[in-house]
Amino acid sequence: MEKKNLHLTLKIWRQENAKAKGRFVTYKINDISPDCSFLEMLDQLNEQLVDKIEKPVCFDHDCREGICGMCSLFINGRPHGNDSGITTCQLHMRRFRDGDTIWIEPWRSAAFPVVKDLVVDRSAFDKIIQAGGYTSVNTGGVPDGNALPVKKKNADLAMDAAACIGCGACVAACKNASAMLFVSAKVSQFALLPQGQVEAKERVAAMVSRMDALGFGNCTNTGACEAECPKEIKITNIARMNRQYYISAFG
């Protein structure tokens, strides 16, 4: 099978630092193998920029296998690009056609300020977890792992929710820049497990109030977050969190 290499036009957001004004810069890149990943395409661009004694494009990336949640590009108007159930590092160039123009932007949200070029600051997510995304148990002195049976169905649903990688695609996809899918995934994980029950009320209240304080928008049930989530986290988690929240407020 003959594979044709790609010749592409890239429109990349360049921004010196958090305070500077950003702009799109156009780059041409040729001879890209369709088997290479999107980030490997950017690696090749950066090698060419270094060759020309220019500053390479900064972007966040680390594991390059879709699990660390570090990569975060908004590609042709979609977080993680034109494929479903994947992160940017898992996007392959075979999803593009020869001659394509590709627009590459950082996540856009007031709660995720740009650090440089395509790199954003997502520490707001850490702050939400710090508000209550845990069970308050110290190391040691816990019961045997099998002391507390968990229904397989609930364990599986908890795992579905816990699969969140904290990349922020849900916020980037949402017209309100809401973090509801992220927060509800963590709340749901604990809501579905007996270990999470002790602090259930306090947890949801604290995490939602932290989320609001950090400048994330509200949820208006558009569902873009679910559609773009690389781990396909279900929007039903938001419904579960809302129930938890009402119980916490009025129950």
Partner 1 sequence: MITLDSKIPEGALAQKWTEYKAHQNLVNPANKRKLDVIIVGTGLAGAAAAASCGELGFNVLNFCIQDSPRRAHSIAAQGGINAAKNYQNDGDSVYRLFYDTIKGGDYRAREANVYRLAEVSNNIIDQCVAQGVPFARDYGGLLDNRSFGGAQVSRTFYARGQTGQQLLLGAYSALSRQIEKGSVKMFTRREMMDVVIVDGKARGIIVRNLVTGELEKYAAHAVVIATGGYGNVFFLSTNAMGSNAGAAWKCYKRGAAFGNPCYVQIHPTCIPVHGDYQSKLTLMSESLRNDGRIWVPKKKEDAEAIRAGKLKPTQIKEEDRDYYLERRYPAFGNLVPRDVASRAAKERCDAGFGVGETGLAVYLDFASAIERLGKKVIEARYGNLFQMYEKIVDDNPYETPMMIYPAIHYSMGGIWVDYELQTTIPGLFAAGEANFSDHGANRLGASALMQGLADGYFVLPYTIQNYLAAEIRTPRFSTDLPEFNEAKKSVEALIDRLMNIKGKHSVDYFQKKLGKVMWDKVGMARNAQGLKEAIEEIKAIRREFWQDVRITGATDEFNPELEKALRTADHLELGELMARDGLLREESCGGHFREEYQTPEGEALRQDDRFMYVSAWEYAGDDREPILHKEALKYEEIKVAQRNYK
Cα–Cα distances in angstroms (integers) from residue 212 to residues 85, 126, 234, 240, in the given order: 28, 14, 21, 18
Q: Is 56 in the site for partner 1 (CB under 8 A)?
A: yes
Q: Is 12 in the site for partner 1 (CB under 8 A)?
A: no
With contacts defined by CB under 8 A, how many residues of the chain interact with partner 1?
78
Piece of the chain touching partner 1 by CB under 8 A; list 21-29, 56-64, 233-241, 242-250? 56-64
d(CA 112, CA 77) in angstroms, rounded, equals 17
Near partner 1 in 116-145, by CB under 8 A: 116, 119, 121-123, 125-126, 129-131, 133-140, 142-145
Looking at 22, 44, 100, 234, which residue binds partner 1 (CB under 8 A)?
A: 44
Smallest Cα–Cα separation from 61: which of 78, 41, 47? 41
Near partner 1 in 19-38, by CB under 8 A: 33, 35-37
Smallest distance, partner 1 to C-beta of residue 149, A: 3
Q: Is 213 in the site for partner 1 (CB under 8 A)?
A: no
Looking at 7, 24, 28, 54, which residue binds partner 1 (CB under 8 A)?
A: 54
Q: Is 203 in the site for partner 1 (CB under 8 A)?
A: no
Looking at 60, 111, 208, 241, which residue binds partner 1 (CB under 8 A)?
A: 60
Asked if residue 204 lies in contact with residue 187, where contact means CB atoms within 8 angstroms, the answer is: yes
Residue 25 pairs in a beta bridge with: 12
Near partner 1 in 171-200, by CB under 8 A: 189-190, 193, 195-196
Near partner 1 in 82-121, by CB under 8 A: 83, 85-86, 90, 92, 94, 115-116, 119, 121
Residue 20 pairs in a beta bridge with: none
